[in-house]
Structure 1
Amino acid sequence: MSLDLLLVVFAGVFGLLVGSFSNVLIWRLPRGENIAFPPSHCPGCDHRLGATDLVPLFSWLSLGGKCRYCRAPIKSRYPVVEALTGLGYATIAALFPLTVYGAGALGLMVLFTLLLVGSAIDLDTYTIPDELTLPGVALGLLFGVLNTRAGVSGLPDLAASVNGALLGAGLLVAINQYGSWVLRRLREREYPEYPIGFQQISLGLLAGAWLGPWWGAGVGLLSAGANLLARRVVRVPELLTLGGLLLSVVIGSAGIGPGLILMVQGSLAAAGAVSLVAGLYWWWRHRPGTEADAADEPYDASAMGFGDVKLAAVIGAFLGWERLLVALVIAVFAGAVLGVVGLALRRENRVKFGPYLALGAVVALIWGGSIVAGYRQLLGM
């Protein structure tokens, strides 16, 4: 047996073990529970599980899908998550041999786990925990550093990871901003966030188009600073920011200013940077046990959950912006098709975009390189 094949087998076995831990994350993260303590126990009778109860796949099969102690049914999701993780890790090890890609291949396995856990939680709760996505962005950047040092080709280096994370968050938040604006019939937000929120993100969109990503992000953060100094929300009208960006795109397409492509890139990256800073602030402010966590604060309806924005940043950080675009196209197409099927079957039509985005990311991970190369060849690039 060759070394690469042996590593594929090891990766599959390791994936089964990680899948077992993933089930712990899926159950405990939405409930705000510690992921390490107490040790694994039956949610029905609370009996602590022994080593023979925790063997991936085989324990569930040998017990007939029931708890050994109270005979309560064990969800079939547990072996499914374990099997998918094992299969996913083995596939990644086969497509990205550890002897060639090293830490880069391990990074893709981490991404696969983040996508699977986030999707399962989103399906249950319509949320994707910040405890998963924000550290996920940091991990994506860390593996970008490792790819840079190893000189790995085919996976993003640090610069590409940063660019992918910012553009991923920026693209999704721009869709959110304009979708929400349309849903509100171009009216201003009734409950602007203090000190940083969607107003600062919209300002980053406009400023980034003209000043570039970092200066644009600086303008958005400067607005948050003005809110802190004034101790209130200093309103920045969306007619100025979002409407101004639309006008800027028209001007840029006429050859005025930095140019249309640079304007779009700067706008999205600046908004992505402000979004991630805002996400970190909201995560810290609403951490469990704080007054803000317990408060029922009023908010404006949005077109898309902000968890999807941070998940897109995770995908961009691990895969780069080109494969991120592939993931988004696949996600929109899959969401549209399955949405139509759901309507035909008269099932619930509330959108859970996270699983579609995760599906698109897996497709982009496996076939994204070929898709991007084919697209470039079609354009003669």
Structure 2
Amino acid sequence: MNPDLLFVLLAGILGLLVGSFSNVLIWRLPRGENIAFPPSHCPKCDHPLAPKDLVPLFSWLSLGGKCRYCRAPINPRYPIVEALTGIGYAAIAAAFPFAVYGAGTLGLMVLFTILLVGSAIDLDTMTIPDELTLSGTLLGVLFGLAGAGLYAREGVLGLPNVSQAVEGALLGAGVLVAIGVFGSWVMRRFRERRFPEMPLGYQQISLGLLAGAWLGPWWGLGVAALSILVNLLARKVVRIPELLTLGGFLVSLVLSSGGTGPSIGALAQGGLMAAGAVALVCGVYWWLYWRRNPETEDDGSDEDGDPVAMGFGDVKLAAAIGAFLGWERLLMAVVAAIFAGAVLGLVQLALKKGRQIKFGPYLAFGAMVALFWGGPLLDAWQQWQNSLVQP
């Protein structure tokens, strides 16, 4: 048998097994349960499941979609997740042969699982666990070690190296959090936040956005860190007006577009990367804080607080996507996600099915578009740009 075909078949089998474990993550992570203990059991009758009950797809089919012990219906999502993971892993193995991409192929499979599990949880709870997004971002950077030298290949999606993975993660978080802070500012009709976070939060993200535009991403992170230190020393929130930070960033872009100072691209990139870096610091801080103080965790409803335009779980998910795929494919994923969200959002509005949109699944869809079609689409875009400048 052809080695590449054999690897595709093995990847599909691996995907079925990982899909079975993904169902465990989808059920247990939002509930704060241990993912290893106790062993798998029926959620209805609590009876432990035997190995014959855990064979991906086939157990569900042989049991007619019902528990062997209490005959309660088994959620069809279980075989769907297993089948999708098997198909997804096989498709990745076919598009990115292990002989060429090495461990990078396994990294893309990890990304697929993060996206699928995160989407399923988001659909259920409108949250995406930090255990997926923050650890996924770190894994994406580590898998960058396997992507060195494979980034730029004509017509084919390459993998970012470590520095490109870091850049992709920061820009991923930065683009989404910028949409969030500007969207919230508009929703508040340009009024200041009523409840700024202590000692770090959206105020520091907005400050990093402005400082990073002019000083670069790492200096922007440093300015935000200085603001955090001031809050800690003052033991209260020292307000930073958004008219100064967000308004200043917009004015900077306008001035730059007129030929004053750095280019608009450099300003935007520096600001977004700095905002992304601060956002990830906030994400890690809030994750650790809520683990110690679970009773204070924000449920995302924000009924008594400031309006939210973009969930912070989406920000961290975008960071993970950027770490695995690089910033160019990340931007493509965001564009595809916004387009898909707009189309399905209009359908949802027409059917009067509610107003809240769970953006995580759209981001996952956009990432898959960028994963499988990113290379050819970027090549077509580059050829079109070159045709515009040719005489």
1:221 CA drift (Å):
1.4
**Alpha-carbon spacing, 1:313–1:346, altered in 2? closer, same or farther (3 Å):** same
Query: Does the 8 Å contact 1:147/1:155 carry over to 2?
Result: yes
Moved more, 335-344 or 186-195: 335-344
C-alpha separation between the residues in 2 aligned to 1:188 and 1:343? 30
Alpha-carbon offset, residue 220 of structure 1: 1.0
Contact 1:104 1:152 in 2 (8 A): no
Alignment pair present for 1:357 and 2:363: yes
Tell me which residue corresponds to 1:271: 275
Q: CA deviation at 1:254?
A: 1.6
Please say if residues 210 and 257 of structure 1, whose CA atoms lie closer than 8 Å, have aligned partners that are also in contact.
no
Structure-2 residue corresponding to 1:339: 345
1:230 to 234, 255, 261: 234
Q: Residue type matched to 1:217 in 2?
A: L
Partners of 2:188 and 2:48 lie apart in 1 by: 50
Could you tell me whether the CA contact under 8 Å between 2:148 and 2:159 is conserved in 1? no
- Aligned length, in residue pairs: 381
2:262 corresponds, among 238, 246, 258, to 258
Post-superposition offset of 1:292 = 3.9
Q: How does 1:36-47 map to 2 (within 5 A)?
A: 36-47=36-47
Q: For residue 252 of structure 2, what is the aligned residue in structure 1? A: 248
Quickly say closer, same or farther: Cα 1:192–1:151, change in 2 above 3 A.
Answer: closer
What is the Cα deviation at residue 330 of structure 1? 0.8
CA distance in structure 2 between the aligned counterparts of 1:102 and 1:180, rounded to whole angstroms: 43
Q: Distance in 2 between matches of 1:295 and 1:7?
A: 43
More off after superposition, 286-295 vs 8-17: 286-295
Deviation at 1:168, TM superposition (A): 0.5
Select the residue among 158, 162, 169 that pairs with 1:158. 162
1:16-165 alignment runs, 5 A limit: 16-148=16-148, 154-165=158-169
Cross-structure match for 2:177: 173
Whole-Å separation in 2 of the counterparts to 1:118 and 1:44? 24
Aligned partner letter, 1:100: V
CA distance in 2, matches of 1:295, 1:52: 38
2:375 pairs with 1:373: no
Matched-pair contact (CA < 8 Å) for 1:201–1:274: yes
Aligned match of 2:197: 193
What is the distance in 2 between the residues matched to 1:77 and 1:151? Answer: 35
Alignment match, 1:2: 2
**Identity of matched residues, %:** 68
Moved more, 153-162 or 101-110: 153-162
Q: CA RMSD in A?
A: 1.7
CA deviation profile, 1:156-189 (whole Å, cap 9, x unmatched): 1111101100001000000000000000000110
What letter corresponds to residue 63 of structure 2 in structure 1? L
Between the aligned partners of 1:289 and 1:343, the Cα distance in structure 2 is: 37
> How far does residue 343 in structure 1 lie from its aligned partner after superposition?
2.0
Aligned letter for 1:164? Answer: G
Q: How far off is 1:344 after superposition? A: 2.2
Distance 1:43 1:321 in 2: 41
Q: Extract unaligned runs of 5+ from structure 1.
A: none
Unaligned runs of 5+ in 2: none
1:288 is displaced (CA, Å) by 5.6
Output one character per residue of 1:106-154: Cα deviation in whole Å (capped at 9) or x when no partner.
0000000000000000000001111110000000000012222888961
How far the C-alpha of 1:346 sits from its partner, in A, is 2.3
Amino acid in structure 2 at the alignment position of 1:166: L
Instruction: Give yes or no for contact 1:20–1:82 (8 Å, CA) kept in 2.
Output: yes
CA distance in 2, matches of 1:21, 1:68: 20
Q: TM-score, normalised by structure 1?
A: 0.97
Matched residue, 1:319: 325
Measured at CA, do residues 22 and 234 of structure 1 come closer, stay the same or move farther in structure 2, by a change above 3 Å?
Answer: same
Contact 1:11 1:89 in 2 (8 A): yes
Residue-by-residue CA offset, 1:31-74 (whole Å, 9 max, x unaligned): 00000000000000000000000000000000000000001110
